[in-house]
Structure 1
């Protein structure tokens, strides 16, 4: 039984898991859907009440019935590398590839439908609230007056994108920024704006969830940190990430979140305040983990590889979020 990894060629984080799978003797095929109609080909036959599907990549043929798991890591747009790309060919290739894989019986990390829904930050915030995770007061609005009223109630705010990365090629991260005290908020009328109460944090937390396993890392804020530098991704602080224990209530909330979101993997970001409360900021369903493993030595790649290598027949996650044993 083979593990299929869908990701781009530059994904060095996926390389870490491939190394682990190879060392365990688990067959693995890695391909980028962007190479469809070029270096990657597929075929599927529906006849006599049965389905037989195959993928071919780099001269290697793999049966879709022989897949134990599919890791949708950071795949490219299907058929993006053909000589004359088109929206039509992309849609045809996407439906063919993901439509066939959906019928394979393989376990997903993460299922495309669940991953697509999980990208929506407003949905994340509401789910985190329902799962008992503390969420900073947040407003998403196009009404300047609503923004002004919110700023009066919560004078110390940050602004961040609703969607995450800017849709350029390659995608560009947009930093979370502190809102100046004299902001008049007139510009929010030109597009949805996400305002959030700033957490005066004593540390950033990255919690990597793989199945039921939770691996948390903590990066302490410098005592002389500039309060305007609110996004840990863009600070010059050289202090490393350190492994840390997950508070029981946070662990309970994160596992509830994963069940509700139907995710097998999630990279959770929290801000820890002076009282030790972990405030939920977001969950990236395909977030990076290499930098955490490098600093902490936590076995994240190994944990992912072990999850992917489990027999496909052990458990199947339904689209409705429940699980069922498979004979």
Structure 2
């Protein structure tokens, strides 16, 4: 049975997993939804109580009944590269593609509905709290007065985007920045602003979760690092990421987070304070992992390939009015 990867043509992270799938002789088809209705095509037939569907991409034809898993890695906007793209065509293509894939019985990494919900940072923060993960004091507001009062309570703050990368082509990363003590919060009225208590960190933590497998990496903060260097992506340190042990309570809470979010994959960002407490920052349901694997040697790509390669569970079918399982 085949693994379907929904991603752009140039995706080095996906390439790392494909290498392991090929080594295990697992068939793989890559499809970018943006290529509908030109370089990719689909067809589904609902007749006599049964469903039969097919996808075509890059000259490969795959039966939807023959899919064992679907990895929603970094898919493009459906039909955005069509000869005449339009919002209507995008919606039609999205409903056709994802609706048919849901009819296949394949396993998802990650289910699109669950991933869409899980990407909302306000939801993440509340879900992390409910799972017992330490979350720094946070305010999301468009009230300048609320921001000023929050700054009075927590004088050392950072500001970060609510949604993540700035929507341009290619997307531009917006760094987390330290808030000046004399900041004027009047501009908060023009858009939701996320303020968060700065944690004086001694290390950054990236915890990659694949199914039940937890793979943690730690990057220590240099002793002479400037306190304004709050975003590890833009830090001046050249220290590599190193493998790390996951505290048992964090492991329990993270697994609860994944179950509640209905995710099979998640890339968690924490910061570790001087007491060794891991503070939750966010969970990216399609986060990169290649840089972690390169530094640490952790088998993240292989672990993903193994999850995608697992046999499909038998699906119930109806025979003579009774439910039965078929392989």
Q: Is TM > 0.5 for Structure 1 vs Structure 2?
A: yes
Q: What range describes the TM-score normalised by the shorter chain of this pair? A: over 0.9
The reply to whether residue 160 of structure 1 matches residue 160 of structure 2 is: yes
2:33 corresponding residue in structure 1 = 33
The reply to whether residue 213 of structure 1 matches residue 207 of structure 2 is: no
2:75 corresponding residue in structure 1 = 75
1:15 corresponding residue in structure 2 = 15
Find the aligned partners of 1:234 and 1:97 in 2 and give their Cα distance: 38
Instruction: Render the CA deviation track for 1:61-103: whole Å, top value 9, x for unaligned.
Output: 1000110000000000011112221111111111100010011
2:47 corresponding residue in structure 1 = 47
Q: SS of 1:15's equivalent?
A: helix
Contact between 2:38 and 2:83, CA under 8 Å: does it hold in 1?
no
Q: SS of 2:70's equivalent?
A: strand
Find the aligned partners of 1:3 and 1:192 in 2 and give their Cα distance: 40
2:141 corresponding residue in structure 1 = 141
When the two structures are superposed, what TM-score results if normalisation uses the length of structure 1?
0.96
Find the aligned partners of 1:9 and 1:111 in 2 and give their Cα distance: 21
Runs of at least 5 residues in structure 1 that lack an aligned partner in the other structure: 317-324
Find the aligned partners of 1:156 and 1:58 in 2 and give their Cα distance: 52
1:319 corresponding residue in structure 2 = none
Q: Are the structure 2 counterparts of residues 315 and 212 from structure 1 closer, same or farther at C-alpha, using a change threshold of 3 Å? A: farther
Contact between 1:313 and 1:326, CA under 8 Å: does it hold in 2?
no
Q: SS of 2:206's equivalent?
A: strand
Instruction: Render the CA deviation track for 1:94-117: whole Å, top value 9, x for unaligned.
Output: 110001001110000000000000
- By how many angstroms is 1:184 displaced? 2.1
User: 1:62-211 alignment to 2 at 5 Å?
Assistant: 62-211=62-211
1:259 corresponding residue in structure 2 = 259
Contact between 1:77 and 1:90, CA under 8 Å: does it hold in 2?
yes
User: 1:283-302 alignment to 2 at 5 Å?
Assistant: 283-302=283-302
1:322 corresponding residue in structure 2 = none
Instruction: Render the CA deviation track for 1:133-162: whole Å, top value 9, x for unaligned.
Output: 000000000111111110111000000000
How many residues get paired? 319
Find the aligned partners of 1:176 and 1:183 in 2 and give their Cα distance: 15
- By how many angstroms is 1:313 displaced? 1.3
Contact between 1:14 and 1:73, CA under 8 Å: does it hold in 2?
yes
Contact between 1:70 and 1:308, CA under 8 Å: does it hold in 2?
yes
Find the aligned partners of 1:296 and 1:173 in 2 and give their Cα distance: 24
The reply to whether residue 237 of structure 1 matches residue 248 of structure 2 is: no
Q: SS of 1:294's equivalent?
A: helix
- By how many angstroms is 1:235 displaced? 1.4
Instruction: Render the CA deviation track for 1:230-288: whole Å, top value 9, x for unaligned.
Output: 00001121110000000000000000000000000000000000000000000000000
2:322 corresponding residue in structure 1 = none
Q: Are the structure 2 counterparts of residues 127 and 314 from structure 1 closer, same or farther at C-alpha, using a change threshold of 3 Å? A: farther
2:320 corresponding residue in structure 1 = none
Dislocated runs of 4+, deviation >2 Å: none
Aligned-residue CA RMSD (Å) = 1.3
